[in-house]
Structure 1
Amino acid sequence: MAREHHQTGAGSGGEVLDLYEYAYLAGGERRVVESAIISLVEHGTLSLRAARLRTIEAELPQHPVERAVIAACPRSKRVQEVFEALEHCDEVDELARRLVLLGLVRNWRRRTTRAGRRRLAAAAATGSLPPYVLEGPARLDPGPVQYGLLVDTGHDGLGRTLRRMGKALDNESDHHATDGGFSCGGGGGGAD
């Protein structure tokens, strides 16, 4: 499935930027990875359910960042693990280096320069970028993709453990109730 990559030359002349370069200008490395995940889900290459990513199409995408996302989750993988794997990956670093060379990002702190902010604002004004590139997954419609990208999956194990403990307590109380378990309460007492 070949697909075109969204590129726009909006802003003050010069080089044409792609979707992920604008994502970097808007929100750094994390926004690049979020945008790639959203794009891959929209195109049916990835599935995102319960904060887990799974590749569902074998054909590799053309963009290096998208290929890096696919490589980071060959099977089912937690979204947080994919973010950690791609935190300083070569594909995103190369994208940042290009933006530094264009004068749109500062080299030493990788922050967007004034020229980069102008370029981003010009692209935003034309409406040529998806809202999630500018504002992140909060701009998505509520659903599994938004939830999967916004949930703090670093504590996913704690939530699962607490749910299991609750179920175990429920099962235990059900067991005692049906087997004539102990009661905490006074008896009705008899009449004199």
Structure 2
Amino acid sequence: MTRMLRRGEADSIGEDLDVYEYAYLAGAGLRVAESVVVSLIERGTLSLGAARLRVIGEVRSEHPVELAVIAACPRSKPVREVIEAVGHSEEVHELARRLGSLGLVRRRRRKPTRAGRRRLADAASAGHVPAYALHGPAALVPGSARRGTAGAHPVPDTLGRTLIRMGKALDDDRGHGTDNAADGNGFGGGGGGSD
């Protein structure tokens, strides 16, 4: 029995996709940028500290999207800025055009076609696609992308909250230990006075 191929499907049958093309099928341009950032951190090319990225290792890539991420953070740069810039870059648009020519993404709206969704599901079930490409950085074990290269000391996740609590405890404007309290004892709230 011969299987009928739909328009655009013939090109995609034998074509291998890379991890970033699967990331595009899973979550469009921003997922591609997130996946590149995670991949480069895991390989030791980028470091992540205090929500900022910077190039620390040797650049060993020829993939256009990886080069776009590296070019987007010549010095320390906020992660969100890098992801936004690369997610809407010409390199990601070119990747989407390639997927469109394979019949895996609709040309106009850049959403995955049925063949694209099927291709992604097959690759995911076979274990060919990393979890971060499918689900974004939320799929990572907490802190795994933050470690960067071996021996680096990441900023603890709770440091910001601890500093905020310390600041509130020391803040004189909140009435702690000042004469701004409602009564002479330094306790607020009334209701116990005599008339």
TM range (shorter): 0.7 to 0.9
Give the deviation of 1:62 after TM superposition: 1.8
Aligned residues between the structures? 159
Aligned pairs (5 A) from 1:11-160:
13-143=13-143, 145=145
What TM-score, normalized by structure 2, do the two folds share? 0.71
Paired amino acid for 1:137: P
Q: Hey, what's the Cα distance between the residues in 1 that align with 2:82 and 2:55?
A: 12
Q: Hey, what's the Cα distance between the residues in 1 that align with 2:81 and 2:56?
A: 18
Partner of residue 184, structure 2 = 186
Higher helix proportion (structure 1 or 2): 1
More divergent stretch after superposition (83-92 vs 21-30): 83-92
Paired amino acid for 1:185: D
Give the deviation of 1:169 after TM superposition: 7.8
Contact (CA 8 Å) 2:65, 2:86: kept in 1 or not? no
**Structure 2 unmatched ranges of 5 or more:** 1-11, 147-159, 186-195
Q: Hey, what's the Cα distance between the residues in 2 that align with 1:126 and 1:109?
A: 28
Paired amino acid for 1:136: G
More divergent stretch after superposition (53-62 vs 63-72): 53-62
Contact (CA 8 Å) 1:19, 1:133: kept in 2 or not? yes
Q: Indicate the RMSD between aligned Cα atoms, in angstroms.
A: 3.0
Contact (CA 8 Å) 1:51, 1:79: kept in 2 or not? yes
Paired amino acid for 2:133: V
Give the deviation of 1:186 after TM superposition: 2.8
Give the deviation of 1:40 after TM superposition: 0.3
Give the deviation of 1:92 after TM superposition: 0.6
> What SS does the aligned partner of 1:17 have?
coil
Q: Hey, what's the Cα distance between the residues in 1 that align with 2:46 and 2:25?
A: 24
